[in-house]
Amino acid sequence: MNIPLLDLVAQYHTIKDEMDQAVLGVLESGRFILGPNVTALENEVADYLGVEYAIGVASGTDALVLALQAAGVEAGDEVIVPTYSFFATAGTVMTLGARPVFVDIHPETYLMDVAAMEAVITSKTKAIIPVHLYGQPADMDEVMAIADKHGLKVIEDNAQAFGAEYKGVKTGAIGDVGCLSFFPSKNLGGYGDGGMVTTNDDRIAEKVRMLRTHGWKKKYFPEILGYNSRLDAMQAAVLRVKLKHLDAWNARRAEIAHQYSQHLGALGLQVPVEAPDRTHVYHLYMVAFEERDEVQQRLKDAGIASEVYYPQPLHLAEPCRALGTKEGQFPVSEKCSSTLLALPVYPEMTGAQIEEILARVEEIVK
């Protein structure tokens, strides 16, 4: 049995008629950049998340860059980020000439350690980027309280947690700005790149719209320095179809994850912990293995895909070395980078596939 980490072809076949109609509709419309499909998706996402504004952009990375700019982050500023995340969380800060200030993570939830966050705030700190990692919301009450106390902007990195809730509020609707990624592997993924910025702030929304189209409100008359980061209509049409199925897909992910945890936890493995008062949408299902590389190879030999997220914490990435960070500085993140392994989790998985994965993992562990 060959089991992929994610099966987008299987997903497509469950919505084939809807998807084919939507894609053909774009081709027949002749509208490929922004346009009615993008506007409709922006309205639908805003309604789904419970925010005033959602602005489609070209990628999740661009969403972070534009959100940081719109929130007033400039060269020389500092932005607090977890050191255990996808590189864009820190790389986008550096792109603007600002400095990412790293914080370690909680050893069970893998979320930014808010207890350590306040200690790194300085007069140069401008914003905080909490990451809703692997599909679980960050500790937003604590983050928002610290931000309010120090007058900082909060930019939610919501790339992996679309549909998750924190105390009944959707992630991406809690901070000053939220950032979405529609990379194909995401819970709500397109058939190419795409992203979105969400906010309740009129000023931030207007600035993001200007930044994504060369800095203009009126075409050909730029008022600020922007660039080209527009969501295309084909991706918007695809995402509009998928959005209708997202809650059911997220529920199925959680069902599979709970089945995994019940079995693997009984083997003594460290399985995902769901923090209280929030819903985890399991973009990824992570298990800790002391001999991770050996486990991964044996799973591969058995026809089961797995993946390491992430093999290197951000503070040890080469572009960040100039910041003066060093090995041993953030031990929890470094430990996770050497032990965590993602097992397949996607809504179209069959019972037989799940049983095969559990049986193989148990065999390896024993």
- pLDDT value of position 218: 94
Asked if the model's pLDDT at residue 213 lies above 90, the reply is yes
Place of tokens 């959005």: 243
Average the pLDDT over 237-263 and give the result: 98
The domain spans of the chain are 8-243, 246-365
- Return the number of other C-beta atoms located less than 10 Å from residue 185's C-beta: 14
State the pTM of this model. Answer: 0.97
Q: Which two tokens stand for residue 132?
A: 């809703």
Band (89; pLDDT cuts 50, 70, 90)? very high
- Return the number of other C-beta atoms located less than 10 Å from residue 121's C-beta: 17
Per-chain mean pLDDT for the chain: 97
Q: Which amino acid is at 127?
A: A
- Contact yes or no for 110/84 (Cβ under 8 A): yes
- Return the number of other C-beta atoms located less than 10 Å from residue 11's C-beta: 19
- pLDDT value of position 95: 97
pLDDT in tens, 135-192: 999 999 999 999 999 999 999 999 999 999 999 999 999 999 999 999 999 999 999 9
Name the fold adopted by 8-243: Aspartate Aminotransferase; domain 2 (3.40.640)
DSSP 8-class letter at 312:
S
- Contact yes or no for 28/330 (Cβ under 8 A): no
Cα-flanking dihedrals φ and ψ of residue 155, to 5°? Answer: -115, 105
Average the pLDDT over 222-229 and give the result: 95
Query: By percentage, how much of the chain surpasses pLDDT 70?
Result: 100
Average the pLDDT over 2-31 and give the result: 97
Number of C-alpha atoms within 13 angstroms, CB side, residue 348? Answer: 15
Band (1; pLDDT cuts 50, 70, 90)? confident
Helix segments in 79-232, DSSP class H: 88-95, 114-117, 140-150, 202-211
Average the pLDDT over 331-354 and give the result: 98
Distance CA 143, CA 12 (A): 38
| Greatest Cα pair distance in the chain | 67
Q: Which amino acid is at 86?
A: F
CATH class of the domain whose range is 246-365: alpha beta
Asked if the peptide bond before residue 310 counts as cis, ω within 30 degrees of 0, the response is yes
Q: ∠ at Cα 222 (219, 225), nearest 5°?
A: 135
Compute CA 331 distance to the chain's CA centroid, rounded to the nearest angstrom.
23
Compute CA 64 distance to the chain's CA centroid, rounded to the nearest angstrom.
11
Q: Which two tokens stand for residue 60?
A: 């999740």
- Contact yes or no for 215/228 (Cβ under 8 A): no
Average the pLDDT over 246-250 and give the result: 98
- Return the number of other C-beta atoms located less than 10 Å from residue 173's C-beta: 20
Lowest mean pLDDT across 301-310, 317-326, 333-342 = 317-326
Query: By percentage, how much of the chain surpasses pLDDT 90?
Result: 99
pLDDT in tens, 269-285: 999 999 999 999 999 99
- pLDDT value of position 33: 93
Q: Is 197 helix (H, G, I), strand (E, B) or coil?
A: strand
Classify burial at 34, counting beta carbons within 10 Å of its beta carbon; exposed 0-12, middle 13-18, buried 19 or more. middle
Report the candidate in 100, 104, 72, 76 with the shortest Cα–Cα distance to residue 88: 100
